[in-house]
Chains A and B, each alone.
Chain A
Amino acid sequence: QLQLQESGPGLVKPSETLSLTCTVSGGSISSSSYYWGWIRQPPGKGLEWIGSIYYSGSTYYNPSLKSRVTISVDTSKNQFSLKLSSVTAADTAVYYCARLGPAGTLAYWGQGTLVTVSS
């Protein structure tokens, strides 16, 4: 059974860079059929797609966040990572990693990790 697990600091200072890693188990991140993505959810609010990456390194990002986002992949560790720069309190959210199936369906999700931006 495919499993995804987010990891990283739960507290980030304003203006700094948020960094998270998603570790995939029970399947290969190098599968040709899937993209891997990050989605976030501010407390009490809805879901926002951040961006996605293919195992080859090809990426696409939410245009509203593109200037601050970098997603990378490490196939040797079966991991992919998110960096979000210049964070503010508005970036406080639960961050989920997920696998994108054909045409963008999200059938597998991590449990989510809360990242709080505060000094």
Chain B
Amino acid sequence: DIQMTQSPSTLSASVGDRVTITCRASQSISSWLAWYQQKPGKAPKLLIYKASSLESGVPSRFSGSGSGTEFTLTISSLQPDDFATYYCQQYNSFLTFGPGTKVDIK
């Protein structure tokens, strides 16, 4: 099984900050990685697929990078609507999610 880890688990930031979240896979997943945003009581929302492709309708302040086992999600300038929990998900072998990173207000 492919295991996913994320760091940090919690991130405190201010509006306008540049934010970076890291996701690591226990073995190479090529670029088969997606990022999701989830707000309380809501279903996750797809942000990034294939490691760096922006889903339609997602603001360009979100970007993804990486391949193999290490990936990053970057929010270039944090907006009030971005305070949420972010999950990575691999789809190289079955589907596995990372444990999540909560972005809260500093």
Contacts and interface: CB of A to CB of B under 8 A. Distances in A.
A47 B87 CA distance: 8
Interface stretch (B17-25, B60-68, B70-78, B96-104): B96-104
Interface residues of B, number: 21
B94 A49 contact: yes
A46 B91 contact: no
Interface residues of A, number: 23
Q: Is the interface of B mostly helix, strand, loop or mixed?
A: loop
A104 B32 contact: yes
Contacts of B54: none
A91 B50 CA distance: 31
Contact of B91 (A47, A48, A104): A104
B60 to A, nearest CB: 18
Closest 4 CB pairs of A and B: A104-B91, A109-B43, A49-B95, A47-B97
